[in-house]
Chains A and B, each alone.
Chain A
């Protein structure tokens, strides 16, 4: 240690930082071990094929470990405090309409441009075209895909509005979610068969890696700022709404279009 004799604060601080960075790096590596083991096992033992381009794979893995570590650090110093800070500011302000407007915009804005959703709605338009539900023509497929995408984005916006309202009121989450499930089941019976698979999958694709931490922090921030709400009981659950409503909206979309 070159700096060990130096009483100045700076080197000690950076050492502590280095140590915490090392801890995060090893944590990220540990998270990736299962993928490496699974892929190596199936490649070598089951498919009995050599690794293509091993060097490239190793470079890629270093990227993944460093990237995941930076992401986790960024969560702690950026996304989490920001989400919770805004939640507290809204709670202090006490403007319900502004809070619900924010929730809707956040849900709609983050979903409408989501690449996974764009891919899924293009696929769905292809199915609808092949099944004869719409004219099998690029224009009608495009407009179908866009409408579907907007439907899902509106449904996620609505989900966050409902979810935030639930936190404010302190309603128990299971009545709403189970009610939603029952609705999904009823709609499934009436919706065209081709849309069902897409509708069920659409719940999973809407919540991206940046949206999840932000929305989670928003919920927890609200629940801890409002008296009488428990962060654990009331703070979580926004993501659950955002995965449920797209199913309902897409099933209805399939029945209407």
Chain B
């Protein structure tokens, strides 16, 4: 209990430190440049307090409950017990559970990502409800799942990262010319939104675990890149989702 309280205390300090520069900038510009009274100041500050307390509880809970298991799991799945102890070059077929875990955890952490919830709330509101916030989040989560799974495959096979990213960009460019125009900015945004509080720690642990257990991989170099996959693939899946919806609608009418 004492341990938990101590953890809470440090987590609150951490969130306050994160929010401090934002508060200083907002206040500074409000007072020095805009120079007007903020309406509803009490309500707004109440919202800020909610955000700080909410984010703190969220992080403490994750660190208590899920991160330790998730990280141990990533290590265990990549250990020789799960993938067999082969000599020489690794065979990518031995890592089935790793890809499955990568996809599943990528999907699951993205659905719970607070920043994505924020953007999808706004998107649903702005589109007047024609775009489903939940549908958008599922589309992004599917993208992250595919991306992280492919990223682990890349670490296992040791193929160069730029190859995949450049190919991904080409697909994004082709999709951009064909999809519904209004989805494009949102799709580009969803790439950056997916990878924050929940996804990064677990996915990073997976990458580092893989790179340090597979012979011939250097964790310092090959451990990186999973986040890049997790930011690129949602762009494709969101545009794909919009194309699918448009096709379904035109089919109905």
Chain A residues at the B interface, C-beta cutoff of 8 Å: 31-32, 34-35, 37-39, 41-43, 46-47, 51-52, 56-82, 85-86, 89-90, 93, 95, 98, 101-102, 105-106, 109-110, 112-116, 123, 126-127, 130, 173-174, 177-178, 181, 184-185, 188, 193-194, 196-198, 200-201, 203-214, 216-217, 220, 230-240, 242-243
Contact = CB atoms under 8 A, between A and B. Distances in A.
Q: Which 6 A-B pairs have the closest CB atoms?
A: A78-B47, A60-B65, A63-B61, A74-B50, A67-B57, A70-B54
B192 A239 contact: yes
Q: Using C-beta atoms within 8 Å of the partner chain, give the interface range for chain B.
A: 35 or more
Given A86-B29, A204-B195, A232 B21 contact: no
Given A34-B107, A63-B57, A212-B115, A205 B200 contact: yes
Contact of B196 (A39, A101, A207, A240): A207
Given A74-B49, A76-B47, A174 B176 contact: yes
Interface centre among B68, B200, B231, by most chain A C-beta atoms within 10 angstroms, is B231
Contacts of B188: 173-174, 177, 236-237, 239-240
Given A81-B44, A102-B25, A207 B112 contact: no
B45 A78 contact: yes
A75 B55 CA distance: 11
B216 interface: no
Given A74-B47, A74-B50, A74-B51, A220 B162 contact: no
17 contacts: A57-B69, A61-B66, A72-B118, A77-B46, A78-B44, A80-B122, A114-B18, A130-B220, A181-B169, A185-B169, A193-B221, A204-B194, A204-B228, A204-B231, A212-B192, A233-B181, A236-B189
A87 to B, nearest CB: 11
Interface residues of chain B: helix, strand, loop or mixed (majority): helix
B77 interface: yes
Contacts of A81: 40, 43-44, 47
Given A56-B65, A64-B65, A105-B29, A39 B73 contact: yes
B101 interface: yes
Interface string B17-57: 11101101110111001101011100111111111111111
A69 to B, nearest CB: 7
B172 interface: yes
A77 B44 contact: yes
Interface of B: 4, 14, 17-19, 21-22, 24-26, 28-30, 33-34, 36, 38-40, 43-66, 68-70, 73, 76-77, 82, 97, 101, 104-105, 107-109, 111-112, 114-115, 117-119, 121-123, 126-127, 141, 161-162, 165-166, 169, 172-173, 176, 181-182, 184-186, 188-189, 191-198, 200, 220-228, 230-231
A212 B184 contact: no
A126 B17 contact: no
Contacts of B185: 173, 232-237, 240
Nearest to A176: B188
Contacts of B64: 56-57, 59-60, 63
**Chain A interface main SS type:** helix
Contacts of A233: 181-182, 185
Contacts of B46: 77-78
A210 B33 contact: no
Contacts of A98: 29, 33
Nearest to B118: A213
A244 B68 CA distance: 31
A72 B117 contact: yes
Nearest to B137: A31
A60 B61 contact: yes
Given A56-B65, A201-B225, A236-B185, 13 more contacts: A34-B112, A60-B66, A63-B58, A74-B54, A86-B26, A89-B34, A109-B24, A110-B25, A201-B226, A201-B227, A203-B231, A212-B192, A242-B192
A171 to B, nearest CB: 11
